[in-house]
Amino acid sequence: MSENIDQYLKSEYSAGWITDIESLTIPPGLNEDVIRLISAKKQEPEWMLEWRLKAYRAWLEMKEPEWAHVVYPKPDFQALSYYSSPKSMEDGPQSLDEVDPELLRTYEKLGIPVHEQEVLAGVAVDMVFDSVSVGTTFRQKLKDAGVIFCPISEAVHEYPELVKKYLGSVVPQKDNFYAALNSAVFSDGSFVYIPKGVRCPMELSTYFRINEAKTGQFERTLIIADEGSQVSYLEGCTAPMRDENQLHAAVVELVALDDADIKYSTVQNWYPGDAEGKGGIYNFVTKRGIAHTRSKISWTQVETGSAVTWKYPSCILKGDDSIGEFYSVALTSNHQQADTGTKMIHLGKNTRSTIIAKGISAKQSSNSYRGLVKMNPGAEGARNYTQCDSLLIGDKCGAHTFPYIESKNPTAVIEHEATTSKVSDDQLFLCQQRGIDAEKAVSMIVNGFCKDVFRELPMEFAVEAGKLLEVSLEGAVG
């Protein structure tokens, strides 16, 4: 009998779910009713709705920032739809035969298995068995360690105290235009909590998170590492992702409590637009971590995608002896524009930060590094080391560096090194004279240039990142 009820409940649930997605339509535009509707759809508690509304009201007063070194038509925020229910699988391509051959060619070069290609290209495949089995073993292992890793929408219900305490504690709702927008309408994202003294037994990857495919354009991630804990989080995927949403505005908040250690690695390869610069994702991201006493936050990113990137993963070094690191490779080609860098805000005594930023520009692209190193009056004995290198391929691209340094403590030490170089004809000829063709030569030279950053990536990611650069630079040598 009870089995029958279970059966009944299950089918009811799934049927309800299907009806749900098919019937739901929200007209474009943003107002308080839309936010109430999003919140209601997620059956959020009242406090969450209030939090979103507060963000929305702040956003109304704000202007889209224009200081970045990027040019693009400003999105019409009233023309966007802020709740896109998951698209029915029938709307997508039914097999790989219907997928853009150019995309498939790229998958092939990256060595992605056919099954994963289907998922990435949005082909209607039954993923259930795979993800359930992988997900279950994975979750069990984390559960045994006491680690919480779930969609943030779930955390709002399951762990409201943690969410209430930390959501917006690093990136407040009013922080900036895109962060405010994200706070008002965020779709979903990851929630991670590592308990005191626990070393997370595995690298956490969005790849394994159930529902990953539908996080939408306003992703929100919150990672809390409690005292003395340790976690490494991998975000993204080397494969270019198909996505019909042009605007992406994500927020990531990291909280490293005393003696905790968070390593956050990103490979970003959203659709960059075609060779003429048409299409492509606008990626406006706010990522920030707060480091308490003796804790460490390390950002590593490999950015090759998106038409426009606006992104500054930052560290607030609040606790004494805390450490912040930023390792970045940003590659732009065709008409891509990237304005990316970091902020290291030193508040505590003897805080240390390291910035290694490598920018590569090819074709007509524009690549800017923008970084702030700030030593507050309390940052006694603090140190920063910044190394910022640009590599140009061809003579139509641009590389720009905008370093900002503010020091209010005379004992603080700040070092800044910057270089700009070109892949020279002589280097190319040396390679060719040794039988290596020009494209392989460029990829080898670029990978050599990025070595200091790739070293920081988890092993598997590093190999993929190298391959990704090679594919992204195809045709960059004339």
Partner 1 sequence: MLNINDLHARVEDTAILHGLNLEVKPGEVHAIMGPNGAGKSTLGNVLAGRPGYEVTGGTVTYKGSDLLELEAEDRARAGVFLAFQYPVEIPGVSNMEFLKASVDAIRTARGEEAMSSMDFIKLAREKCKAVDLPQDFLKRGVNEGFSGGEKKRNELLQMMLLEPSLCILDETDSGLDIDALQVVARGVNALRSPDRGIIVVTHYQRLLDYIVPDYVHVLAKGRIVKSGGRELALELEKHGYSWIDEEVA
Chain positions contacting partner 1, by CB under 8 A: 424-427, 429-438, 440, 444-445, 447-452
Q: Name which of 37 and 438 has its Cβ closer to partner 1.
A: 438
Q: Name which of 74 and 434 has its Cβ closer to partner 1.
A: 434
Which residues share a beta bridge with 296? Answer: 261, 323
Cβ of residue 391: shortest distance to partner 1, in angstroms? Answer: 10
Q: How many C-beta atoms lie closer than 10 Å to residue 78's C-beta?
A: 9
The Cα–Cα gap between 69 and 74 comes to: 14
Q: Name which of 85 and 427 has its Cβ closer to partner 1.
A: 427
Q: Name which of 270 and 449 has its Cβ closer to partner 1.
A: 449
The Cα–Cα gap between 167 and 173 comes to: 9
Task: Give the list of residues 6+ apart from residue 269 with CB closer than 8 angstroms, or none.
Answer: 236, 237, 238, 239, 240, 241, 304, 305, 468, 472
Task: Give the list of residues 6+ apart from residue 352 with CB closer than 8 angstroms, or none.
Answer: 317, 322, 323, 324, 382, 383, 384
Q: Name which of 225 and 453 has its Cβ closer to partner 1.
A: 453
Q: Where are the alpha helices (DSSP H) in 24-127?
A: 32-41, 46-60, 101-110, 114-120
User: Tokens standing for 314?
Assistant: 């930052």
Cβ of residue 438: shortest distance to partner 1, in angstroms? Answer: 7
Cβ of residue 466: shortest distance to partner 1, in angstroms? Answer: 11
Closest C-alpha to 220, from 178, 265, 188: 188
Q: Name which of 99 and 423 has its Cβ closer to partner 1.
A: 423
The Cα–Cα gap between 236 and 253 comes to: 16
Angle at 253 between CA 249 and CA 255, to 5 degrees: 175
Cβ of residue 221: shortest distance to partner 1, in angstroms? Answer: 32
CB of 275 within 8 A of CB of 334?
yes
Cβ of residue 373: shortest distance to partner 1, in angstroms? Answer: 25
Cβ of residue 78: shortest distance to partner 1, in angstroms? Answer: 48
Q: Name which of 101 and 435 has its Cβ closer to partner 1.
A: 435
Cβ of residue 180: shortest distance to partner 1, in angstroms? Answer: 41
